Structure 1
Amino acid sequence: MKYNFLSLIFFLVLASVVQAQTINTNPILTSWATDVNSNLPLPEYPRPQMERDSWQNLNGQWEYTILDKGAELPEDFVGKITVPFPVESYLSNVMQSVGAEKELWYQRTFTIENSQRRGRVLLHFGGVDWEAEVFVNGESVGTHQGGYDPFSFDIKDYLQRGKDQEITVRVWDPSDDGPQPRGKQVNQPRGIWYTPVTGIWQTVWLEFVPENFITKVKINPDWDNGSFLVETMAEVGAGEFKVEVRLLEDDELVVQGTLGEELVLTIPNPKSWSPDNPYLYDLEISLKQGNKLIDKVKSYSALRKISIGYDENGMQVMELNGQPLFQYGPLDQGWWPDGLYTAPTDEALLFDIEKTKELGFNMIRKHVKVEPSRWYYHCDRLGMLVWQDMPSGDMGNVWESKPGIYRKGLNRERTSQSEEIFKTEWKAIMDAFHHFPSIVVWVPFNEAWGQFKTKEITEWTQQHDPSRLVNSASGGNFELEGNKLVGDIFDVHNYPDPVMPSPDLFGKVNILTLGEYGGLGLPVENHTWQEKDNWGYQSFKNQEELWKRYQQLIDDLKLLLPKGLAAAVYTQTTDVEVEVNGLMTYDRKVIKFPVEAMRKLHEGLYLKNF
């Protein structure tokens, strides 16, 4: 981050303070905390991009214990934990730290009917931070590393006779003692670094599928041709299989082809998706053998195109569906005072997006965290553009100054193991969330946090998903390739006032953006994580002072648009722990700005494009 003098003083003071407490055992709560059904929290279907009717939610009360790392499968457990809330969180009913020297164990039983055994039985985990080994009836089914990507195991062969079955999960998470992606989690929370998140933090569920079943559907919108390109993957045995894709509208369209073939579904009079008109098409994908229906899933998609265009001065701009669109949104950390990484309810998860939209933003930068699939589904439904960060990890970069070039960091030397962990999880995240049309920008690195091999990672990201733009390093450590920066975007950070990258450097060969700015702070009494020592990049005494300063920031921001600024990100959606920079308080009970006035103020940012 590029700081003003006051911000620099703050961070020098902050660096001298070590906060011993890792768990706040008396946090403020959101209004949704009392709505949580501890026996079945977050009951909604967790994978809206590929939906089946035959499933079973396993959220709720599990047994837990915390043992030394390397301990054997436990026979005794110390209490109950509410899954899927992290063990450190209030809503888990545990609120206990774990650390790198310990492992967290879960166990529960579930009932399965004979009719559910006819095909395969898939055990799904939306997210477990960080390393998870899964046992069914005492036998190890498999191990997964990665705190942000969903995974599953076929457990049919591990089921016993009778209805009652047992699941045990071992979790190890070294937090900031390890090289793995972790975002803003640290063992000693302070400043911009927050409480650790260990264990299961997204929905656990069973899915009952046929012996031959669809494993993945990849839908690419071809906006230029009004088409969807649909590729279906399946696990099948001997025989010939075909795929049928059906568009579920008044005038149904159907296309058939061979399994694994990319099918083209061309739509007469296509409707484009945008923030103003987030139109979604419902699809149904069937696996057939001859004329026999074997498996079927429901999905959806949207026709939209994100691309690079040029303004009247030859500066690069972001275009949505062939039209320039200034993108403006908040930095969104995705943290909750009662659930930490996990929103208390689906209504709570939706609330942040709805309020962001009401305040007049058209984009969200999801900051060094990945959300559950339903969050992106809500963005798709509501018409909210998303910049998706890769969660950072393996910190410790050396910083340098390159006057006038905003190049502030050096690539970090990471071990081969650390590099492989990053690459594996980044690919898994991109694959798992490729489906969601709201995601328009991938951000591999933030401010040189753990940044390594920038050119290699950026170019691989562009090749792996050419349908989106790539912001190689939001706010720092850019690499040159010829006369341009690696990636599509030249992104700087500055607090609190808006600035932009110099158009004289790489302005006509990179999109110019302001990846972070603002951070105006206002602690609201009875709505803070702690009673004192809360902070913002620039603090205010009341909402009137705060609003006046924000209006000045927008006036200054508007001056940059004619010079070629293509997007900006304001810090941030909500307060988070000791940070009070939010548009809302951490408990979401107070919106600090006048909603309608802010929405009208933001409208002026988009007028130059139309």
Structure 2
Amino acid sequence: MSYYTKFTTIFLVVVCALQLSCVSDKEADSNKIDLSGEWSLRLDSLDTGTKENWQMAWDNETQKVQLPGTLDEAGIGKKDTLTPALNNYVLSSLTRKRQYIGKAWYQKQIEIPKKWEGKSLMLNLERVLWKSTVFVNGEEVGSRESLIGNHQYELSNLKAGENTISILIDNSDFYPDINVIGDRYPVKVNQEMAHAYTNHTQIKWNGILGDISIRPVSQKIFKSVEVYPDTKTGILNIEVATDSSTSKPISVEVLDSEGASVFSESISEYSEEENKIQFQFSVEGALEEWDEFNPQLYTVQVGTEEKKITKTFGYRSLSHDGGELTLNDHRIFLRGNLECVIFPLTGRPPMQKEEWLDLYQKAKAYGLNHFRFHSWCPPEAAFAAADEIGMYLQVELPHWSLKVGEDEKTWQFLESEADKIIADYGHHPSFLFMSMGNELEGNFDLLNNLVSELKEKDTRHLYATTSFSFQQPVGTRPEPEDEFFVTQWTDKGWIRGQGVFNEYSPNFETDYTANSRNIEVPLISHEIGQYSVYPDINEIEDYTGVLKPSNFIAVKEDLEKKNLLSLAPDFTKASGKLAAM
């Protein structure tokens, strides 16, 4: 065989392999329509869109935007005109280059395959601020409200061929009482401080983030599966949500992270009630325990021969017996950091697992094992990355309020958000703790009742009514339903070395035993390390995204006027030294 013939043969084999690979990828995506890409846009600041039938197909709309994404990232909205100066308007926060708060309509023409005609389909919008309303071919499907999870819609009126999807996103402040108002900030739109809805860390973006797709609704008997491990007994408790009863044996298989089977059994004895099947089986000695040092993940596969469902889980048990925080019967110590949605290039949370892995890896390099998500809950990617790398997470309701329980609709919204957090993210082994919010004040009977209900719904986590409170005596001792206690002090005195900001010098010698001896649940110190630092002027050039460092620029310009700019690095270093004094 000649060299040319050999080369041609090899080339054809490679091309065929690539074609087969492409076909396989296409088949894998055949049960999903990815709606990412270009969408038509109309801003509805005057709230006339519904009256003018903007839900109908638009002709030759010229304004376009990329989704997933935000209007800030697209450079759409009112342009900032703030001049850098040493005043509270400028110094209080970074500045949005563009800002739009209100209703915005997004529209796209989509093609539905013939095989999907007549089927029930599911539209998924992974993350939205705050409310979405969906229309198909001009007809309203419904509305959803959530700051912490996906907005899903069951679509039944799509026809084969071309259809018009219109999505109305409203990022207005629907429930002001979830938020504490910082009246020191002079601009009203910047006064909300809860990190789920604020302009101080995450901005009040309008858009859609993450997955935007349509899938057929599965007609499986089994809808979902949850795994509740007990490492003390070696038992896996399985709970399966069903659409109908079954008399067939249920096959169960546990696979490791490489896809190898580590356990397989046919279950014929199970309890069945209210569209729920429950059973348990022993895996003693077969599974490795999940923790920060060995983040081993498994997948459980449950179903009949015809239909199966899966769920990823970690084999771990969390406890607070005797006031000690234990994971898999081993005491653990939290070395953590706050995560307040501070991503100044985009003004919104990362939605890809790789981005979160990068963040967690940096934290682990500093010896940390814990992240507390202050008054917000991260997206799915953050949990998946934490599962994989072994990071302990505390999530919170989108809630930093001094008026808990005063508004009934606000409380109903928060209850719904709590249930959604458990339903959407409860299976992740990294999800260890959940608090009802930050520094809450108000009706603690309501908070205790909510925690009690959550404990009954999902036993895989520990719960607390609040992450610290200035309300007395709440802030000095745990509430009746608290399974852990986050505070700065008890009724005996301080339990965080910093005191109030720089009141005490940092040290490793202070013994807080006397001040914490009466606390009978695990004790977590609240927000240590709040030190004032002089701005690093060299960072100005790094702000290439949606936020402008007008406050940094104001400081730089002031130093230039005083011929002190050369000393700016020394000022930054000195402020760090001051915090350590």
State whether TM-score is above 0.5: yes
Distance 1:168 1:532 in 2: 39
- Alignment match of 2:164 (pick from 158, 163, 166): 166
Distance 2:175 2:523 in 1: 35
Q: Does 1:56 align with 2:62?
A: no
Distance 2:341 2:394 in 1: 13
Tell me, what secondary structure is at the counterpart of 1:455? helix
* Deviations, residues 21-74 of structure 1 (Å, cap 9, x unaligned): xxxxxxxxxxxxxxxxxxxxxxxxxxxxxx998333322221121213363141
Q: Give the counterpart letter for 2:67 in structure 1.
A: V
**Partner of residue 322, structure 1:** 329
Q: Aligned pair in 2 of structure 1 residues 480, 264: CA closer, same or farther (>3 Å)? A: same
**Partner of residue 318, structure 2:** 306
Q: Aligned pair in 2 of structure 1 residues 449, 205: CA closer, same or farther (>3 Å)? A: farther
Q: Does 1:128 align with 2:120?
A: no
Deviates further, 373-382 or 203-212: 203-212
Q: How far does residue 86 in structure 1 lie from its aligned partner after superposition?
A: 2.8
Q: Does 1:519 align with 2:527?
A: no
**Partner of residue 149, structure 1:** 149
- Alignment match of 1:253 (pick from 256, 264, 267): 264
Q: How far does residue 261 in structure 1 lie from its aligned partner after superposition?
A: 1.4
Q: Give the counterpart letter for 2:315 in structure 1.
A: L
Deviates further, 468-477 or 432-441: 468-477
Distance 1:365 1:183 in 2: 22
* Deviations, residues 96-135 of structure 1 (Å, cap 9, x unaligned): 5343xx3121111222322344854211122222121111
**Partner of residue 39, structure 1:** none
Distance 1:365 1:266 in 2: 33
Tell me, what secondary structure is at the counterpart of 1:261? strand
Q: How far does residue 139 in structure 1 lie from its aligned partner after superposition?
A: 1.5
Distance 1:190 1:225 in 2: 50
Q: Give the counterpart letter for 1:111 in structure 2.
A: E
Distance 2:181 2:370 in 1: 20
**Partner of residue 18, structure 2:** none
**Partner of residue 414, structure 1:** 406
Tell whether the 8 Å contact from 2:223 to 2:241 is kept in structure 1 after alignment. Answer: yes
Q: Give the counterpart letter for 1:495 in structure 2.
A: F
Q: Give the counterpart letter for 1:97 in structure 2.
A: Q
Tell me, what secondary structure is at the counterpart of 2:115? helix
The one of the two structures with greater contact order (alpha-carbon pairs below 8 A, sep at least 6) is 1
**What is the correspondence of 1:205-216 to structure 2 with a 5 Å cutoff?**
205-212=213-220, 214-216=222-224
Tell whether the 8 Å contact from 1:120 to 1:154 is kept in structure 2 after alignment. Answer: yes
Q: Give the counterpart letter for 1:80 in structure 2.
A: K
Q: Does 1:275 align with 2:282?
A: no
Q: Give the counterpart letter for 1:167 in structure 2.
A: I
TM-score by length of 1: 0.68
Q: Aligned pair in 2 of structure 1 residues 210, 317: CA closer, same or farther (>3 Å)? A: closer
Tell whether the 8 Å contact from 1:522 to 1:541 is kept in structure 2 after alignment. Answer: no
Tell whether the 8 Å contact from 2:240 to 2:278 is kept in structure 1 after alignment. Answer: yes
Deviates further, 412-421 or 471-480: 471-480
**What is the correspondence of 1:61-460 to structure 2 with a 5 Å cutoff?**
61-67=38-44, 68-69=46-47, 71-72=49-50, 73-74=53-54, 75=56, 76=58, 77=61, 79-87=63-71, 89-90=72-73, 96-99=98-101, 102-117=102-117, 119-155=119-155, 157-162=156-161, 164-175=162-173, 178-179=176-177, 188-189=189-190, 193-194=200-201, 195-212=203-220, 214-236=222-244, 243-248=250-255, 249-256=260-267, 260-269=276-285, 270-286=287-303, 288=304, 291=305, 293-294=306-307, 296-310=308-322, 316-343=323-350, 345-392=352-399, 395=401, 397=402, 412-448=404-440, 453-460=446-453
Tell me, what secondary structure is at the counterpart of 1:446? coil
Distance 2:404 2:219 in 1: 46
Q: Give the counterpart letter for 1:159 in structure 2.
A: L
TM-score by length of 2: 0.71
Distance 2:404 2:143 in 1: 28
Q: How far does residue 449 in structure 1 lie from its aligned partner after superposition?
A: 6.3
Distance 1:242 1:206 in 2: 32
**Partner of residue 32, structure 1:** none
**Partner of residue 11, structure 2:** none
Question: How well do the aligned residues superpose, as a CA RMSD in angstroms?
Answer: 3.7
Tell me, what secondary structure is at the counterpart of 2:362? helix
Deviates further, 424-433 or 374-383: 424-433
Tell me, what secondary structure is at the counterpart of 2:105? strand
Distance 1:54 1:97 in 2: 37
Q: Aligned pair in 2 of structure 1 residues 268, 543: CA closer, same or farther (>3 Å)? A: farther
Q: How far does residue 383 in structure 1 lie from its aligned partner after superposition?
A: 0.3
Tell whether the 8 Å contact from 2:76 to 2:98 is kept in structure 1 after alignment. Answer: no
Q: Give the counterpart letter for 2:148 in structure 1.
A: Y
* Deviations, residues 142-176 of structure 1 (Å, cap 9, x unaligned): 21121212232221x211132x2221111223238
* Deviations, residues 573-608 of structure 1 (Å, cap 9, x unaligned): xxxxxxxxxxxxxxxxxxxxxxxxxxxxxxxxxxxx
Tell me, what secondary structure is at the counterpart of 2:361? helix
**Partner of residue 38, structure 1:** none
Distance 1:159 1:241 in 2: 35
**Partner of residue 85, structure 2:** none
Q: Give the counterpart letter for 1:90 in structure 2.
A: E
Gaps of 5+ in 1: 1-50, 311-315, 398-410, 554-610
Tell me, what secondary structure is at the counterpart of 2:485? strand
* Deviations, residues 512-553 of structure 1 (Å, cap 9, x unaligned): 221211134353313355143599xxx995786677678x59
Tell me, what secondary structure is at the counterpart of 2:64? strand
Q: How far does residue 247 in structure 1 lie from its aligned partner after superposition?
A: 0.9
Tell whether the 8 Å contact from 2:124 to 2:153 is kept in structure 1 after alignment. Answer: yes
Tell me, what secondary structure is at the counterpart of 1:81? strand
Tell whether the 8 Å contact from 2:370 to 2:393 is kept in structure 1 after alignment. Answer: yes
**Partner of residue 490, structure 1:** 485
Q: Aligned pair in 2 of structure 1 residues 253, 373: CA closer, same or farther (>3 Å)? A: same
Distance 1:391 1:500 in 2: 34
Deviates further, 272-281 or 493-502: 493-502
Distance 2:528 2:134 in 1: 42
Q: Aligned pair in 2 of structure 1 residues 349, 546: CA closer, same or farther (>3 Å)? A: farther
Tell me, what secondary structure is at the counterpart of 2:527? strand
Bigger-Rg structure (1/2): 2
Q: Aligned pair in 2 of structure 1 residues 183, 262: CA closer, same or farther (>3 Å)? A: farther
Q: Aligned pair in 2 of structure 1 residues 350, 509: CA closer, same or farther (>3 Å)? A: same
Q: Does 1:469 align with 2:481?
A: no
Q: Give the counterpart letter for 1:436 in structure 2.
A: H
Q: Aligned pair in 2 of structure 1 residues 445, 481: CA closer, same or farther (>3 Å)? A: closer
**Partner of residue 7, structure 1:** none
Q: How far does residue 306 in structure 1 lie from its aligned partner after superposition?
A: 1.5
Tell whether the 8 Å contact from 2:109 to 2:163 is kept in structure 1 after alignment. Answer: yes
Q: Aligned pair in 2 of structure 1 residues 123, 105: CA closer, same or farther (>3 Å)? A: same
Q: Give the counterpart letter for 1:488 in structure 2.
A: E
Tell whether the 8 Å contact from 1:385 to 1:440 is kept in structure 2 after alignment. Answer: yes
Q: Aligned pair in 2 of structure 1 residues 541, 273: CA closer, same or farther (>3 Å)? A: farther
Distance 1:274 1:423 in 2: 30
Q: How far does residue 469 in structure 1 lie from its aligned partner after superposition?
A: 1.5
Q: How far does residue 336 in structure 1 lie from its aligned partner after superposition?
A: 2.0
Q: Aligned pair in 2 of structure 1 residues 279, 485: CA closer, same or farther (>3 Å)? A: same
Distance 2:106 2:127 in 1: 14
Distance 2:427 2:404 in 1: 31
Q: Aligned pair in 2 of structure 1 residues 534, 308: CA closer, same or farther (>3 Å)? A: farther
Distance 1:545 1:482 in 2: 35
Distance 1:488 1:52 in 2: 43
